[in-house]
Structure 1
Amino acid sequence: MKKQWILAVAALLSLASCGSYKKLTYLQDMEVLTTYDVKEQPNVLIGVNDKLRIVVTCQEPTLAAPFNLSTGVFSVNPETGESVTKLSSEAESGYVVDNNGYIDFPVIGLVKAEGLTLEGLREDLIDKIIETKYIKDPIVLVEFMNFQFTVLGEANPGNYNVPNGHINLLEALALAGDLKPSAKRDDVWVIRTENGQRMVYSVDMRSKDLFESPAFNIQQNDIIYVKPLKSVKDADATKRSSVITTVISALSTVSSITLAFVYAGVIGSR
């Protein structure tokens, strides 16, 4: 009789935990040790009105100074003997791509930026700096200053910057502190504006299909809206279910261990 009672309790605990698990778990239809095709992340191209941070350095920082927006302040670290460059606020103002797709770069002049990747522009600048014969070994950093996305709703709302322009939806939500227990996981919106038109993509975070969504790779100025559950009551219930799931999991473990002892003959039936 005791064996049947333990089996019944274990089954009930398993069913109760299953409902809460499905509400909160990502990628429920993925399987362990199963391979899935991966789409290559598209290149992010520089566009008109993009704002770029470009810093040129080399082994002799004073030689690189003319190629920066400001000469900056140069000093030597007394402990290591290395040169340290601190750029002024003028340098941090960045380069804005004009309506013709160019940036006005010190010494070199106009440089085409529109339509290039960050790496493409970096390599182009290195070649042009070497051509000036000022520097033989320039090191060039190129980053976006205005590539950002916005998160609203049941996460940590805010604007988030992505200097390299590469981030996917899972990474974006992780950056925003992950979804709250009160979030609606099967209908996360990504609102995107392209060519003067606004499109809304709905993504189910519980399914592997999110990897196939056009919204998986976040684009500049995307808005991620995380909907709340239908009511405050549902949200509170989900929060409670999270706690209950933890308790149920512990009880389920205890019952499983007890059941193992029963079958091993350690605990006899009476």
Structure 2
Amino acid sequence: MRRLVLPVLIFVLVTSCISNKRINYLQNLKGNEPIGLDEFIPFAEVDYEYILQPHDIIDVDFASPNQELLRAFEFQGAKSSSVGRGGNSGGSMDVFYFSGYSLDKNGYIQIPNLAPLKISGLSEIEARDKVQEAINYYFKDEVQVKLRIGGIRFTTMGEFNNVGPKILLKNRATIFDAISMAGESSILARKNELFLIRQYDGGTKIHQINLNDRRLLASPYYFIQPNDILYLQPMQIRQIGSGENLTASLQLGISIITAMMFVYGITSGLF
């Protein structure tokens, strides 16, 4: 029994410790060309530009010296619902759900007093120009249009400290903006296996991202998009113990050793 105590304790400590290489973000991983500090890292070859999709919610503002004319293009109560917009939202009221314009399943937007316009498949700038053109057909140069995404809605699952739907009131945000809003990830997360579930025109793709790798900064997944789902898997170490700190590991080891000694005492007739 005494000979078993030390091996068991060593086994518990080894299996409960997690290397920093599995925890730290943005490392220079072996086999990759190193990226030094202060080194300029260009974005992916195709720079980020979100393309609108069916069921997106967008924010459309109109400007004109003619206030009566402006009201013709606004839904009743839209302005009052937009009061109090902040920089982000972690489960609070989705203001754009009430004040924004939602694209239907075919990608059309319905603005009061205008025929339905299909703007899915367009960038924000292209969609704005299309709405502006439709308004100019009736009111030449009397109304100016501003169009943007009504926040970036995404969902976090798995080993995040705060899971569920979230909203970033920006039109451009990085994956680290999303991670920080989700309350960071637990130490047991597989940061080299973040699954990003992304919607595309007519379907969905699952991408695997390595948060430990500095090359992420130049990848097309560095920026999140509306309706993204981020899923972090747990490490297998969870099956043995929490492993989050040395105290927990020692407590687990002591519990195992105590149980072994108790069983040994019963089988040996000591109790």
Answer whether TM exceeds 0.5 for this pair.
Answer: yes
1:194-244: CA deviations, max 9, x gaps? 466554322221111323545433333322111222233777333449xxx
Does the residue aligned with 2:43 lie in a helix, a strand or coil?
A: coil
Indicate conservation of the 8 Å contact 1:185/1:204, yes or no: yes
Q: Does 1:34 align with 2:39?
A: yes
Q: Structure 1, unaligned stretches of length 5 or more?
A: 1-18, 74-84, 242-270
Q: Distance in 1 between matches of 2:191 and 2:96?
A: 44
Match of 1:52 among 49, 58, 80: 58
Matched, 1:108 2:114: yes
TM-score by length of structure 2 reads 0.62
> 1:152: which partner in 2?
157
Paired residue secondary structure (1:173): helix
Relative to structure 1, the CA distance from residue 27 to residue 113 in structure 2 (aligned partners, 3 Å threshold; closer, same or farther) is same
Shift of 1:97: 2.9
Contact 2:100 2:150 (8 Å CA) reproduced:
no
Indicate conservation of the 8 Å contact 2:109/2:117, yes or no: yes
Q: Superposition pairs for residues 44-193 of structure 1, below 5 Å?
A: 44-59=50-65, 61-70=67-76, 72=77, 85-87=79-81, 92=98, 94-98=100-104, 100-133=106-139, 136=142, 138-144=144-150, 147-155=152-160, 156-162=162-168, 164-193=170-199
Q: What secondary structure sits across from 1:37 in the alignment?
A: coil
Does 1 or 2 have the higher relative contact order (CA < 8 Å, sep 6+)?
2
2:145 and 2:219 mapped to 1: Cα distance? Answer: 37
Amino acid at match of 2:24: T
Gaps of 5+ in 2: 1-17, 29-34, 83-94, 248-271
> CA offsets per residue over residues 167-188 of structure 1, 9 Å max, x none?
3322221221222222222222
Task: Provide the alpha-carbon RMSD of the alignment.
Answer: 3.5
Identity of aligned residues (%): 23
Q: Which residue of 2 aligns with 1:22?
A: 21
**1:181–1:239 contact (8 Å) kept in structure 2:** no
- Give the number of equivalent residue pairs: 210
User: Normalization by structure 1: what TM-score?
Assistant: 0.62
CA offsets per residue over residues 138-170 of structure 1, 9 Å max, x none? Answer: 35344336x522111111211123455533322
CA contact (8 A) 2:41 2:218 kept: no
